[in-house]
Amino acid sequence: MQFRTAAALANGNLVFALYLIGWGAPSLTILAIEISLAVSATWSTWYALGRIRFPGFAMIRFLAKRQVSPARA
């Protein structure tokens, strides 16, 4: 739960920073759009990571399921 929240907040902040760098904030309307997009990115990241049971071990589980092929001589 803490990993998911930290990752979602980091992603939201990254999205907001990239929008500020790319567009700036020339008006309150654009700033509101950037904030809403950053909040949406935070929520969707939090939801997407909630669908994974063990996000830290997803790659380990993937590698464990692969068939190991014998080495060729």
If one compares 23 and 66, the residue with the highest pLDDT of the two is 23
> Among residues 62, 66, 48, which one has the least CA distance to residue 7?
48
> Picking from 3-12, 29-38, 64-73, which range would have the lowest pLDDT averaged per residue?
64-73
Say what the pLDDT of residue 51 is: 72
Give the tens place of pLDDT for each residue, 26-65.
899 989 999 999 999 999 988 888 776 665 556 666 666 6
Distance between CA 24 and CA 33 in Å, rounded?
Answer: 11
State mean pLDDT over 3-25. 90
Q: How far apart are CA 28 and CA 54, in angstroms?
A: 40
Domain ranges of the chain: 2-65
**Cβ pair 8, 46 in contact under 8 A:** yes
pLDDT above 70: residue 22: yes
Q: Which residues of 26-42 are buried (b: 16+ CB within 10 A; e: fewer)?
A: eeeeeeeebeeebeebb
